[in-house]
C-alpha cells in the first residue's frame, strides 16, 4: 500500500469542478497540469457558470500574499516536523484517534472526510497492530445524487480495503441548505471489530492526554 500524494488534490479538484470551476482554474489553484485535472474530474457533473470570473486572471495583491504565506508555512512545517520516528508516529496515530475515533464501542472506528487522515490512520493501525485484513471494514456516508461507485473506488484504492468489505453505505437525503459538493467522495469510517485492540488504543489515548506526558 502507498500514498501517491495526489489523493487530496484529486478530491479537491472534484469538489471545485462540481462548483463549476474551469479546468484551467482548478489546475492553477492546485498547482497541477490541466490534463491531470481533466482525468480526475471527467465524470463530475456540473453546470457551467458564465458569470464566474476566472481566478487565474489578475489575482489581487491580497490573494497573492495569502498564497505565498500559505506556501511558506507549508515549507516551514515540513522543515520543522521532518521525518517522524516510529515513536512519534505512534503518538500521532493515538492523537488522531483521540480526536476522531470512537471511544465508547468495543471496536475501533475512525471517521473523517480528509483522505490524508484516513490513509494515515490505516497505515498507523497496520504498522503497530497485528491486523487481520479480512476483518477490516469501511462504512461510507454519502449524500444522494453523488457517485457511490466512484466514491467506493476512491476509498478502496486509498486504503487497500477491498470493496467487498465495505458495509452498506448511508445515503443522506439532499439538503438544499448545504453545499452539494462539499464532500463529493463522502465521509468514510474505517471499522475494525476487536475489543482488545480498542482497549489498547484507548490506553494510548489516555497516556498522551495525561498531564504527566506534557513537557514541563
Strand order in the sheet with 136-143: 108-111, 187-192, 136-143, 170-172
Residue 56 has pLDDT above 70, yes or no: no
pLDDT at 49: 65
> For the chain, how long is the longest CA-to-CA vector?
58
The pLDDT value given to residue 24: 87
Burial class of residue 85 in the structure, from the number of CB atoms within 10 Å of its CB (0-12 exposed, 13-18 middle, 19+ buried): exposed
Q: What percent of the chain has pLDDT over 70?
A: 87
Give the CA radius of gyration of the chain. 20
Residues 110, 201 contacting (CB under 8 angstroms): no
pLDDT in tens, 2-13: 444 577 788 888
Q: What is the pLDDT of residues 86-101, one digit of tens each?
A: 999 999 999 999 999 9
pLDDT at 176: 60
Angle at alpha carbon of residue 15, lines to 165 and 137, rounded to 5°: 10
Which grid cell is 153?
473506488
- Model pLDDT, residue 140: 95
Amino acid at each position: 500500500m502507498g500514498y501517491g500524494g495526489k489523493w487530496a488534490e484529486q478530491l479537491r479538484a472534484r469538489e471545485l469542478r462540481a462548483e463549476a470551476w474551469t479546468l484551467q482554474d482548478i489546475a492553477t489553484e492546485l498547482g497541477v497540469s490541466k490534463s491531470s485535472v481533466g482525468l480526475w474530474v471527467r465524470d463530475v457533473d456540473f453546470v457551467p457558470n458564465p458569470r464566474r470570473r476566472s481566478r487565474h486572471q489578475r489575482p489581487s495583491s491580497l490573494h497573492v500574499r495569502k498564497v505565498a504565506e500559505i506556501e511558506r508555512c507549508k515549507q516551514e512545517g515540513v522543515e520543522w516536523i521532518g521525518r517522524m520516528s516510529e515513536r512519534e508516529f505512534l503518538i500521532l496515530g493515538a492523537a488522531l484517534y483521540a480526536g476522531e475515533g470512537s471511544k465508547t464501542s468495543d471496536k475501533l472506528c475512525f471517521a473523517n472526510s480528509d483522505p490524508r487522515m484516513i490513509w494515515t490512520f490505516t497505515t498507523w493501525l497496520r504498522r503497530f497492530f497485528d491486523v487481520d485484513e479480512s476483518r477490516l471494514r469501511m462504512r461510507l456516508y454519502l449524500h444522494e445524487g453523488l457517485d457511490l461507485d466512484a466514491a467506493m473506488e476512491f476509498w478502496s484504492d486509498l486504503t487497500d480495503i477491498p470493496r467487498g468489505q465495505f458495509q452498506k453505505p448511508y445515503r443522506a437525503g439532499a439538503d438544499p441548505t448545504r453545499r452539494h459538493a462539499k464532500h463529493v467522495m463522502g465521509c468514510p469510517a474505517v471499522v475494525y471489530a476487536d475489543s482488545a485492540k480498542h482497549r489498547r488504543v484507548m490506553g494510548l489515548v489516555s497516556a498522551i492526554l495525561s498531564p504527566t506526558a506534557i513537557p514541563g
